[in-house]
Amino acid sequence: MLTNTEIAELSFDEILEKIEDALKISTDNYDLESIKFVSIFSLFSRMNRIHVKKLLELSKQRDKVFVQRQKHYSGKMKPEHYQKEELQVIPEKKDIDKWVRADSIVQEIESLVKDQELIVDLIERAMKEATTRNFAVKNCLEYKKLIQG
């Protein structure tokens, strides 16, 4: 069983691997497979809750960074800031948003947010697939009963 911290630190590929493993259906024992639904859905729900929370935190950070970089490019930061990070060119007011969007710090946090959005989307699709998996297992059990008479 993964801890919440371990779940939060999983990469997209690691989450995908966990999802694929969880959704596999063993044809050897459909009865056991039908029982797994609750634990699979519970795992996916925990993953979703943790990663949605992480997405919200990243979105807040992105917004703060965006405002800070707007202040930077508009020349509204304290003089100490510009000693550490010199402003080579002061853009015109109408161009500040373009400069902010092109800023490497903003692009980095934006990339993290986009990656987290992909993870949340993956987990939400896995939750739907788990429900479909459950119906498939139930159908297999009914078919097995029908054949056995």
Q: Nearest CA to 55 among 1, 123, 105, 107? A: 123
Highest mean pLDDT among 22-31, 35-44, 72-81, 105-114: 105-114
pLDDT in tens, 33-56: 888 888 999 999 999 999 999 999
Torsion of CA 9, 13, 16, 17, to 10 degrees: -100
Please return the burial class of 123, using the count of CB atoms within 10 Å of its CB with bins 0-12, 13-18 and 19+. Answer: buried
Query: Any alpha helices (H) in 9-103, and if so which ranges?
Result: 12-23, 30-74, 79-84, 96-102
Q: Which residue has the tokens 């800023």?
A: 103
pLDDT the model gives residue 57: 98
Token duo for residue 84: 């550490």
pLDDT of residue 85: 93
Owner of token pair 């056995």: 148
**pTM greater than 0.75 (yes/no):** yes
User: Average pLDDT over the chain, rounded to whole?
Assistant: 93
What is the reported pLDDT for 12? 96
Residue 101 amino acid letter: R
**pLDDT at res. 78:** 94
Say which range, 18-27, 47-56, 68-77, 120-129, has the weakest mean pLDDT.
18-27
Residue 142: predicted pLDDT: 86
Q: Find the helix or strand (DSSP H, E) in which 141 lies.
A: helix 104-148
